[in-house]
Chains A and B, each alone.
Chain A
Amino acid sequence: MNPVAAGPVADVVSAVLMLSGALSCLLGAIGLVRLPDLPARLQAATKPQTLGLSLILLGTALRVEVATAVTLVLVVLFQVITAPVISQLVGRAAYRSGGFPDGTLVVDELAEHLPTDAVVGDEPAAERDGRD
């Protein structure tokens, strides 16, 4: 029942990992409040969260038994594999239902490429066509 690592060095490494993880989660939360539109908030909500959770779990993994640590690493792995898929699906759905406001994009090269019948939502098609 020995932890993965012990001693003062392990304590410091573990603490640094967990604190930077918490900082990353905090910055993600601030981004969620401060950023102007859905796609930007989606970045703040998914990516720093993944990094933060990974760091916290790695910091924890140093302090627990090997068998438990391996499971925590597995949690990190699945988080890293699944989080991008979620952000992709939400982003795509938001784009197609008019969740990307006009004012916050510098360019939108996808608008010209989407067939008009692919755009759904309450926004009239004509209005969408006029978007740049």
Chain B
Amino acid sequence: MSERASAPSAVRRPRWAARVRPRVLEIVWLTFVWVLLWGTFSPLSIVGGVVVAVAVIGAFRFPPAEAHLPVRPLRLLLLVGYLVYDMVVSGAEVSWQVLRYGPAARGAVFEVPLLSSSDRVVTVVANALSLSPGAMTLQIDHAHGLWFVYALGPRDGAGVERSRRRTMDMQRRVLAALGTPEELATAERLLAERGC
């Protein structure tokens, strides 16, 4: 916060505004959840929500959010739609594994290049994958930019490559919504190299 306040562009604003500005989205989100919990859109629940949100953010000092997270609302909506679709389709695939192979089902642990250095984007990427049936994040190696994934289903090398491509594709979709243009370009290049 201190370096933010000493930056030339922030000098004109009062101190509290510089402190609150990066938190506005978090306050809006917490207020939204609070109002949903009450189930009524009354002025009292909204004001109460803002008070609680400010109190929560004041009490739990999260690290300040990174300054620029490019958010593309349409792509984000597409991502949410894809996650729902993926839950159904991958869910059916897991069910097929269960019914067809059962005790003979196989899995694989493989690595995928992790293209974003933003903690928040990495969190979304890891969670998006873990939400998909049959796959989960096992380990993230930030230093080497590697992402280790467990997938249920691959029975041979070709199956592993297929799972790897799907994982890369999931990452590309998240980067399309939240990543920088360079990260997205890298993801698309890597996917093209693997031929799909």
Residues of A within 8 A of B (CB): 24, 27, 30-31, 34-37, 39-40, 42-44, 47-48, 50-51, 66-68, 70-71, 73-74, 80-81, 83-85, 87-88, 91-92, 95, 100, 104-111, 113-114
* Extra 7 A-B pairs, beta carbons < 8 Å, given A35-B103, A39-B107, A39-B150: A35-B105, A36-B103, A37-B107, A43-B133, A106-B108, A106-B159, A113-B146
Task: Tell yes or no: B71 within 8 A of A by CB.
Answer: no
A24/B91 in contact, CB under 8 A: yes
B109 in complex: contacting residue of A48, A84, A85, A109, CB < 8 Å: A109
User: Which residues of chain A are within 8 angstroms of B135 by Cβ–Cβ distance?
Assistant: 43
CA distance A57 to B110 in the complex (A): 35
Task: Tell yes or no: B49 within 8 A of A by CB.
Answer: no
Task: Tell yes or no: B184 within 8 A of A by CB.
Answer: no
B133 in complex: contacting residue of A51, A70, A91, CB < 8 Å: A51
Residues of B within 8 A of A (CB): 33, 36-37, 39-40, 87-88, 90-91, 94-95, 97-99, 102-111, 126-127, 129-139, 141, 146, 148, 150, 152, 154-157, 159-160
CA distance A53 to B39 in the complex (A): 20
B154 CB to nearest A CB, Å? 5
Chain B residue at minimal CB-CB distance from A87: B136
User: Which residues of chain B are within 8 angstroms of A30 by Cβ–Cβ distance?
Assistant: 98-99
User: Which residues of chain A are within 8 angstroms of B154 by Cβ–Cβ distance?
Assistant: 106-107
| Interface SS majority for chain A | helix
User: Which residues of chain B are within 8 angstroms of A51 by Cβ–Cβ distance?
Assistant: 87-88, 91, 133
10 A-B pairs (CB sep. < 8 Å): A34-B98, A34-B102, A48-B94, A51-B91, A66-B39, A68-B39, A73-B36, A80-B131, A95-B139, A95-B150
Tell me whether A113 and B39 are in contact in the complex, defined as CB-CB below 8 angstroms, given that A40-B105, A47-B132, A106-B108 are known contacts. no
CA distance A64 to B98 in the complex (A): 35
B185 CB to nearest A CB, Å? 25
A104/B111 in contact, CB under 8 A: no
A4 CB to nearest B CB, Å? 13
User: Which residues of chain A are within 8 angstroms of B156 by Cβ–Cβ distance?
Assistant: 106
A105 in complex: contacting residue of B33, B98, B108, B136, CB < 8 Å: B108
Chain A residue at minimal CB-CB distance from B88: A51
Tell me whether A83 and B39 are in contact in the complex, defined as CB-CB below 8 angstroms, given that A47-B90, A51-B91, A104-B106 are known contacts. no
User: Which residues of chain A are within 8 angstroms of B157 by Cβ–Cβ distance?
Assistant: 106-107
Tell me whether A107 and B160 are in contact in the complex, defined as CB-CB below 8 angstroms, given that A34-B98, A84-B130 are known contacts. yes
Tell me whether A43 and B106 are in contact in the complex, defined as CB-CB below 8 angstroms, given that A68-B39, A74-B37 are known contacts. no
Q: Which of A37, A43, A47, A88 has the most CB of B within 10 A?
A: A43
CA distance A109 to B156 in the complex (A): 14
CA distance A127 to B135 in the complex (A): 27
B160/A106 in contact, CB under 8 A: yes
CA distance A67 to B106 in the complex (A): 45
User: Which residues of chain B are within 8 angstroms of A91 by Cβ–Cβ distance?
Assistant: 136-138, 150
User: Which residues of chain A are within 8 angstroms of B148 by Cβ–Cβ distance?
Assistant: 109-110, 113
